Amino acid sequence: DQQVKQNSPSLSVQEGRISILNCDYTNSMFDYFLWYKKYPAEGPTFLISISSIKDKNEDGRFTVFLNKSAKHLSLHIVPSQPGDSAVYFCAASVLIGGADGLTFGKGTHLIIQP
Amino acid sequence: NAGVTQTPKFRILKIGQSMTLQCAQDMNHNYMYWYRQDPGMGLKLIYYSVGAGITDKGEVPNGYNVSRSTTEDFPLRLELAAPSQTSVYFCASSLGGHRRSTIYFGEGSWLTVV
């Protein structure tokens, strides 16, 4: 049973436009969310995170929005660049008894078209 | 600037064989993790450690063992390999857990069990 869902396996966006990647979650106990970017044959790299006490977090071209009532978050990349072509993973966590694990979605493959 | 180093990068095992995936980090991080990623799926936590001498199970620990005798090293042992353990394995580390510090991933170890 997937607790973190990324329903779009792939997304194609033109260079310079906005890329919007979506993520839904089912566990209402999740209170911390992260986005990771992964190139082929490399490990994931951290992009941006957001705590459930906020509804928006911005870092340069990357903005994450959190809608707790809808159990939905999205990652906006503006403007999209060729180097943004990668697989993006949404991840979530809940702090129970000091555990530090992340629950990942399946990922969305973002393709930036020139 | 090594970061998180995993060896081997590729390995083919026969059913029933055992092996150890090595992981070392040179950032003096307290937290270390092992994740696996099956094709088309998100990463799943196998084991993690919050410091030398302390380990704990993640979401999918069956068939694996870990130890943390030093801060730098966090080997993952596969006993009696099964085809279901065919996956890409990622080791990761962070200074203080993902809510307070960035998790850095290694490049991955591709394991095939035949």
CATH of the domain at A75: 2.60.40.10
Q: Mean of the per-residue pLDDT values for chain A?
A: 93
Which backbone phi and psi does A51 adopt, to 5 degrees?
A: -90, 155
- The count of structural domains within chain B is 1
Which of B41, B98, B106 is the closest to A102 by Cβ?
B98
**B8: cis peptide before it, omega within 30°?**
yes
Alpha-carbon distance A50 to nearest alpha carbon in chain B (angstroms): 10
Alpha-carbon distance A26 to nearest alpha carbon in chain B (angstroms): 16
- The count of structural domains within chain A is 1
Residue A78 sits in which domain range?
Answer: 4-113
- 3-class SS at B98? coil
Question: Which residue does chain B place closest to A47, by CA atoms?
Answer: B102
Q: Give the C-alpha separation, A78 to A61, whole Å.
A: 5
Please check whether residue B111 lies inside any domain of the structure. Answer: no
For residue B73, give the CATH number of its domain: 2.60.40.10
Residue B49 sits in which domain range?
Answer: 4-102
Please check whether residue B31 lies inside any domain of the structure. Answer: yes
Per-residue pLDDT tens over the stretch A26-82: 999 899 999 999 999 899 999 999 999 999 999 999 999 999 999 999 999 999 999
Q: Touching check for A102 and chain B: CB below 8 Å? A: yes
- Residue A49 pairs with which residues in a beta bridge? A34
B101: confidence class by pLDDT, cuts 50, 70, 90: confident
Q: Give the per-residue pLDDT at B104.
A: 93
Question: Would you tell me which residues 74-93 of chain A have a C-beta closer than 8 angstroms to some C-beta of chain B?
Answer: 89, 91, 93
Q: Give the C-alpha separation, B3 to B29, whole Å.
A: 10
Please check whether residue B33 lies inside any domain of the structure. Answer: yes
Q: Give the C-alpha separation, B106 to A51, whole Å.
A: 25
Please check whether residue B50 lies inside any domain of the structure. Answer: yes
